[in-house]
Amino acid sequence: MTDLESRLTRLDTPDLRPPVLPDADVAYTLHDTPIGTLLLAVAGGRVVASSFGDEETMTTRLARAVSPRVLRQPRPLDDVRRQLDEYLSGDRRAFDVEVDLVLATPFQRLVLEDLPTHTSYGRTTTYGTVAGDISRPKAARAVGTALGANPVCVVLPCHRVVGASGALTGYAGGLDAKRFLLNLEAKS
């Protein structure tokens, strides 16, 4: 036995365990879905992100807006992932999670906070209708921009908002993802 092996043998103690790290201020994970990979994040028990954005950009935004302690910790997101999977398989119509719009601009908050009142599962509305409902009747394009940058997409159903003609326009996950979500809801 070499000197190094002898010293390492003395370190082999059965009661030695890895440290238990505290939970992150912001826990996130990447979750593969039929519509693409979503970055999911929670802070203080509330969903702060459900985004198609890339990992580095989103974690940087979370670090600036919420806390610099952003860690990839999937366990705190188990319930969100389960509900998302149930929704995407057609077994759930609404999410039972608290949302925090910390990543949204003030105008996005105005649009997103009332989004569930503008539409419901399987029913669409238009950008113009949403603009009128928030007392900004000439802001249909701004509503579209706000929804296109929704930091909590799918959970807050911006996919249910379409053009005045019924045409599918812009979606952060792409038009195929928007079509998938609308078709999923139409089947139920």
CA angle at 170 for the pair 167 and 172, rounded to the nearest 5°? 145
Chain CA centroid to CA 23, Å: 19
Domains and CATH numbers, the chain: 26-186 (1.10.10.10)
Structure tokens at 99: 């949302």
The helix/strand/coil state of 120 is strand
Tell me what pLDDT residue 5 has.
Answer: 73
Spell out, as residue ranges, where the chain has pLDDT lower than 50: none
What's the rounded Cα separation, in Å, for the pair 55 and 165? 35
For 55-106, how does the pLDDT look when each residue is reduced to its tens digit (9 = 90+)? 999 999 999 999 999 999 999 999 999 999 999 999 999 999 999 999 999 9
Quote the pTM value.
0.84
Whose CA is closest to 143, among 122, 128, 125, 153?
Answer: 128
What is the rounded average pLDDT for all residues in the chain? 90
Task: Just list the catalytic residues.
Answer: 158
